[in-house]
Every structure is written in structure tokens, then in C-alpha cells.
Structure 1
Amino acid sequence: MSERKSDISGWLVRRASWPLWVALGAVLGALVARTARLTSRGGMDNAIVVRAAKAWLDGGSPYDDPHFLYLPSAVLAAAPQVLVERDVLCVLAPLVVTGCLVGGWICALRLHGVPLRSRFAALGLLALAAGFAPFAHLVWLGNWTATAALALPLALLLAGRGRWVAAAAVLGAAVALKPLLAPMGLLFVFARRWRALGVLVAVPVAASAGAALALPDPAGFFTRTVPFLLSGDDRFVRLYEASPAAVLPRLGVPGALAGALAFALAAAGLVCAHRRWRGEEGPLRYAETGALLMLSAFLVSRPSYDHYLLVPVPLLLAGLPYAASVTRSVWFWMALVPQLPGVTWPYLEAGERRAFRDAVTLCALAVTVGLHSWRRAGGKGAPAVPVPPSRGAAASSSVSGV
């Protein structure tokens, strides 16, 4: 099965009209304005990081707050926010988060060779912002997962162009801010890019080691945060975790069995990711392998939240113009149904029960992408990116290298 484009691609890649861009700007602006008006310090999760940085500047330990789950390098990165006035930060933080999500979408489009001014570029981002609940939720929280949503497609774009060391540097910088993308090290193992893997490891280690020396408890991440993550004894946080290991015990499944099932699913996902990497080449190879690695990690990671889906989903969605993309499967869209905003599900009305919907999406996506990747392995080659006929030969040459 080759990575050729179907007939719908010709319509998708035509240039979008200005009303579509206006609608997109209105939706994104509304998300930023609502967050700025109703939250403090750019959202609840960003506020945790800001408080940790303020505690450090006041001479205390950022790890006194058990909900600060970042490496020491994140403390220094968050310190400038302490110096920003609260009213300014309330606007600046959601703007930065939204910018990261938009930037990640742009990089995903470029990875797949889709023109940035196309209808699909605008409609896809509009669908994410207005039709995918985790998008608005991430902006509302101001969570630093937004950095991973930008770094992953950017790194895969660089890797797809043969710039593996640069890709590793991008991932390493993202891990230094939030360790979410650490599982992407397996991609460099699959590709046997050992030098780049060393860079990926060295960047966050060096940044965190240097930052730790400035903290009153240099080993706080290992003595406080790691035990907290392993014990999982925060009953409030557990109510929002989407990992099967956290959700199944709430349904009466023994914790040991739930953990074993989660690890089995994750292991199967890694096997499918490796098989996909060894199979058909082309943009989908990078996107599907990277997305599957992250989905597999989310099945076992503690914590694992709904906004983590903003890391793999846009990367996969950007491949829609390809006829062989997993997004052409009805099961991909069925997996996203629980994330439709404004839909109230019976017995899941309470916010602390949202994790059940998130777990369904996470598991369904992982299984769908895994089976798709297993079937796709073994193909050959990938054709050029489609270009609207009206753009001519010059346009073709301009995007063929994207």
C-alpha cells in the first residue's frame, strides 16, 4: 500500500479563502480571551510551575509542592514568569500555549508536505480547536504539555530531512522543560542514530544538573517527585488519570491486573511501532511511529491526562490527505467521539469521571494506530505531495522539498 493521495486531496490542498482564516482566528482568540478572563497566572497548571519558581526565588524548595512534577531545569525556565505582572501573565500564558499548539500543527503539516495556506491547514486546526475538547482544556490549564505538542512534530520534521542531531536537540530541550517526550528516545534506537541519542540524553541531563546546583535540595526531583509518581497516592489526581492502570481499579479491577493489562498493551504498541518503522518509508512512517510510541507510553505513565492527546493526535490528523493514513479509518474518528466538547455522557457528567472517557479514547487510539501500523509495514516508497492545478509547476517545486 503506497502513500499516494486520494482524490479528496486536491480539494484539501487548494488555497483557503479569507473567511475561513477569520473564523479560525475568532475561535483561537476566544479561547485565549476566556482563559485570560477567568484564570490566574495563565491557568491552574502553569500556576503550579510559577509558584514553584517563586518558592525557589524566596529561598525555598520548589519540590515542597508535591504537584510540581518537573525537572529542576523547569524551575529556572519558569522563573521569568514570577517577574511578570499577574494581569499580563493571564494573557501571555494562554497566548504562548496557543502559539505552541499552532506551531505544532504547522510543523505537522510541513512534515506531511501539506501547503500551509491550504483549506486543510485551516480546517484541521479549526477542527482541533473547536471540536476536540483537550485543545481548549490545555489552553485553559496552561499546562507545559504544549511544549511537547510543538517539539514532537518539529523533531520529526527535522528527522525526516535527515537532521537527526537537531531533532535530538529539540526533543532534549522539551524533556528539560517536561519529561513527557522521553519515550521518543526509542525512535533513535530504531533508527540506530546513536550520536543523536546521546544528544537527546545529554541536553536535559546537563540542563537539570546545572539547575539542580542552584536549588536548596539538588536531589529533590528524585527524593520527592519520583516516589510520589511511583506511589500514586494522590487520590485527587488519580481521579483525572486516563491510564488503564488508574481507571480500571475504579471499576473494581484489581490494581495488579490493571497494571499488567496496561503494560501488555504498551508492549504490544512498542512492537507495532518498531514494525512500522521498519516498513514503508515516507512522512507517515515518522508520524505513525512517533505517535504510537507516545500513545504506548501514555498507557502506562502516571499521571496520564486528556491533554496528553494533543501530542499524537494533530500529528496523525495532518496526514489525512494521504489515502493510507490511519485517519482514513472510521475507528480513528470513533476513538475521538468521547472528546467532543459540549456532549454530556450519562453517568459521566461529573468532572472527576472524565477519566473514563479519556481512557476510552487513549486505548482506542493506541489499538487503532497499532493495528494500522502492523498492517502497513512492508510497503515501499512514497510519491510526491499533491499540488492544486492552479498553482502550476512553480508551486510544485516549492512544496516538493517540504
Structure 2
Amino acid sequence: MIHRVVIRAVNGSVTNDFGTVYAATRRFLDGGPVYVENLQVVDPHYLYAPSATVLLSPFGMIDMYTYARWIFIAFNALCIIGAVLLLLRLFKISLSSYATPAVFLAVFCTESVTNTLVFTNINGLIFLCQAAFFVLLHERRLWAAGIPMGLSLAIKPMLAPLLLLPLLRRQWQPFVGAVAIPLVAFAAGWWLTSDGKSYFDIITPYMSEVRDYYNSSLAGAGLYFGVPEPLILALRILVIVMAAVAVYLLMGYRHNHEVLWLSTTSGVVMAAVFLVSSLGQMYYSMVLIPLMLTVVLRESLVRNAAAWVAAYGFFTMDMWESERWPFHGRLVEFLHPTFGWLLIIVTILVVLLWRYFDPERRQHITPSVKTPAAT
């Protein structure tokens, strides 16, 4: 953890997501236009909504860029640590257990956490909001659950699909905070930003486009490798269908295995979103950490080799560029997160179907209901 924060993150990378945030928040605080970047280049762009600009503006108050970046790194590192602690609480793993340092080691070795810190982006806070949302839902603090979700949506809409979880359980309370917080923050940002209209005129159309660089979604990979659009569309539809079937079959776990249901359903939904959306970047996989942590649960759907091959695909730091086999190396380098997201959905769906169609294994789903075999 110290190595990732003090060495890798402070050293930085060519990719610097914080530079655009710092410059935009400085312009915002000075009353100037925020959305002034050239979107034709491949450098990181400031694509946050006015609501995020307001919430991130305190970092722009720091006069020295280097100190502001270090504070931002430390802030995200603390958020990631807090998220892991909440997940340990959710999975009932004691802090004195050998599993605790093992989990921290595994988490900080992932590409998701490492590059979140090295690239200096805000995904650490998003991860903390996800973990807090799960804990509060599980503890039936439904009104409070909307607060971390609303905060995350005010910054970026990445976790919006997870509102499916309270929706499936007909819990409306989390939606109050999840909707009210981003609306209020957006209204404040719109009023305080001199060029708020540019967010809809320039940024929103740009984000809907499929780009062929740093994009592991099916559409992005298809565009990069020249795959016919009808085939990409068919694959996207297939992923949606598989994810929908998996979510339906997982409903049987929501009463007797709630933590498993929350974590696994969220993982399936988010992996599907990464695949079918216009942009899927590998470090988004941080939100799949709760899914892989379900391995500690007896009824887990990731206690198999295929699930961990998938995890390697979307968590690995390995670089696959090859001087001897340049095309094949580039193919693996660009597609291993795509492969991982797809394989984890397929794996979970296969295990669910395997359990569903076997009377004895159906006890894994609803042990309180007698099966014909038990009768």
C-alpha cells in the first residue's frame, strides 16, 4: 500500500487525470469558462458535470499543483482503505484475521487500484460510496443508503445501475438521496459555472461517441479492430440477455444470502455495463472487488477456476505487448479486460443454471423451501 501511494502514485504517469480537474476547478473558482479543452486530442479531458465541479472545487483552492495532487492521491487512497474496511465488515471478516492483510494486498495489487492512484482520478471515492451503499442497504438503513449513492452520482454516473438493487426489493427510500443530492449539486454547479450550457452542448455528445483508444467495451474494441457493426450489436444484445437472465436467477438469493446477492448482482450488472456502453475502461473494474470477495461465502458463485481467470483478465497489471508476436500481443493487451468481463458473466450464469436445474443444488438458492428430493 505504501509502495503504491508513495512511490507509484507520486511518481505518476503520462496519463494524468488530475491535471484536467485541477485546471478546470481553478478556472471555475476564477469565474472563467470550465469546458474549454480540445476534445480532438487523446489527452485526458475534463468531462465532469457542473455538480462534480462544485464538489471537487476545494482541490482548486490549493495554490501549489504538486501539493494539490498529493492531497488528492492521499484522499483517494484513504477512500479505498475505507471501502475495504467496510467490505470486511460486510463479509464479517475480522480485522485480526489473516484474511485482512491478504485482502488489502490483493486489492492494492490490482490494476484498478494502482492506476486509480497513479493516474490520480476520483474512482477511489466512487469505490467508497459503493461499499457504503452496500453496507447501509444490508443494515436496512435505507434513507442513509441514498447519501453515498447520491454523492457518487453527483460526481460521475458510474454507479447508477446499482440502483437496480433497491428497485428489485421495492425499497424506495434510497432513491430520495440518490436523486436529490446530484440534482441540488447540479443546480448549484450550473448556476455558478459561467459556461454550464457547454456541458450539454459539447461534453454530453462527446461522451456518447465510441472512441477507439483506451476503450475496452465491445464497441470500442470492435472499432479498434474493425469488427463489423452488426456483429458488435449482436454481441451487445447477447450480453444484455445473459446479464438479465443471471440477475433474474440471482433473485432467489436475496432473502437467505443477501450479501452474496448484493455483491454478485452488482458485479454482473456492472460488468455488463462496461461491455455494452460506449466507454469501458479497465480501472472501472474496482467496483467488481465485492463480487470477487464473495469467494469467502459458502454459496459463492466464484469458487471456480473460470471466475479467477476472468478476474485475472480485468485485474491484472501484466503488459502483453510482444516484440516477437506484435499482433497477438496487442490483441491480448487490448482485449483481456473485455474477455474478463465477458467470462465472469458467462461463468456466473452457467453456475446459476447448473444449480437451478438440479433439485439438490437448488437448496443453495432457497434452503427454507423443501425440494422434491428432500420431501
TM class by shorter chain equals 0.7 to 0.9
2:137 is the alignment partner of 1:162: no
What is the CA distance between 1:249 and its match in structure 2? 2.9
Deviation sequence 1:338-379 (CA, Å, 0-9, x none): 443345454379889743222112222232234445556761
Identify the match of residue 62 of structure 1 among 15, 34, 45. Answer: 34
CA pair 317-231 structure 1, distance change in 2 beyond 3 A: closer
What is the CA distance between 1:381 and its match in structure 2? 5.8
CA pair 259-58 structure 1, distance change in 2 beyond 3 A: farther
Partner of 1:191: 169
Superposed, which structure 2 residues align to 1:195-234 within 5 Å? 195-232=173-210, 234=211
> 2:329 and 2:28 mapped to 1: Cα distance?
36
Partner of 1:5: none
Once structures 1 and 2 are overlaid, which stretch shifts more, 265-274 or 103-112? 265-274
2:206 is the alignment partner of 1:242: no
What is the CA distance between 1:79 and its match in structure 2? 1.4
Does the aligned pair in 1 maintain the 2:149–2:177 contact within 8 Å?
Answer: no
Superposed, which structure 2 residues align to 1:2-41 within 5 Å? 28-39=1-12
Does the aligned pair in 2 maintain the 1:326–1:372 contact within 8 Å?
Answer: yes
What is the CA distance between 1:324 and its match in structure 2? 2.0
Three-state SS of the structure 2 residue aligned to 1:121 is helix
Structure 2 residue ranges without an equivalent (≥5): 40-44, 357-361, 369-375
Three-state SS of the structure 1 residue aligned to 2:20 is helix
Identify the match of residue 51 of structure 1 among 1, 10, 23. Answer: 23
Does the aligned pair in 2 maintain the 1:183–1:294 contact within 8 Å?
Answer: yes
Q: What amino acid is the match of 1:144?
A: I
Identify the match of residue 151 of structure 1 among 125, 129, 132. Answer: 129
Does the aligned pair in 2 maintain the 1:32–1:91 contact within 8 Å?
Answer: no
CA pair 284-348 structure 1, distance change in 2 beyond 3 A: farther
> Which of the pair has the greater relative contact order for Cα pairs under 8 Å at 6+ separation?
1
Partner of 2:150: 172
Structure 1 residue ranges without an equivalent (≥5): 1-27, 383-402
Superposed, which structure 2 residues align to 1:1-400 within 5 Å? 28-39=1-12, 44-65=16-37, 66=39, 67-84=45-62, 85-130=64-109, 132-232=110-210, 234=211, 238-280=212-254, 281-282=256-257, 283-312=259-288, 314-338=289-313, 339-342=315-318, 344=320, 346=322, 347=326, 354-373=333-352, 379-380=365-366
CA pair 206-105 structure 1, distance change in 2 beyond 3 A: same
> 2:120 and 2:10 mapped to 1: Cα distance?
13
What is the CA distance between 1:150 and its match in structure 2? 1.2
What is the CA distance between 1:177 and its match in structure 2? 1.3
> 2:203 and 2:349 mapped to 1: Cα distance?
31
Partner of 1:387: none
Three-state SS of the structure 2 residue aligned to 1:63 is coil
What is the CA distance between 1:86 and its match in structure 2? 2.3
Does the aligned pair in 2 maintain the 1:273–1:373 contact within 8 Å?
Answer: no
Q: What amino acid is the match of 1:161?
A: E
> 1:260 and 1:136 mapped to 2: Cα distance?
34
> 1:323 and 1:287 mapped to 2: Cα distance?
14
Q: TM-score of the superposition, structure 1-length normalised?
A: 0.79
CA pair 216-304 structure 1, distance change in 2 beyond 3 A: same
> 1:329 and 1:156 mapped to 2: Cα distance?
24
Does the aligned pair in 2 maintain the 1:172–1:199 contact within 8 Å?
Answer: yes
Q: What amino acid is the match of 2:28?
A: W
Partner of 2:371: none
> 2:82 and 2:331 mapped to 1: Cα distance?
31
Does the aligned pair in 2 maintain the 1:242–1:358 contact within 8 Å?
Answer: yes
> 2:32 and 2:247 mapped to 1: Cα distance?
43
Does the aligned pair in 2 maintain the 1:288–1:373 contact within 8 Å?
Answer: no
Q: TM-score of the superposition, structure 2-length normalised?
A: 0.84
CA pair 197-374 structure 1, distance change in 2 beyond 3 A: farther
Once structures 1 and 2 are overlaid, which stretch shifts more, 345-354 or 263-272? 345-354
> 1:376 and 1:62 mapped to 2: Cα distance?
53
Three-state SS of the structure 2 residue aligned to 1:318 is helix
Three-state SS of the structure 2 residue aligned to 1:311 is helix
Deviation sequence 1:116-168 (CA, Å, 0-9, x none): 221111102202223x2222111101121222211112101110111122112
Three-state SS of the structure 1 residue aligned to 2:342 is helix
Q: CA RMSD in A?
A: 2.6
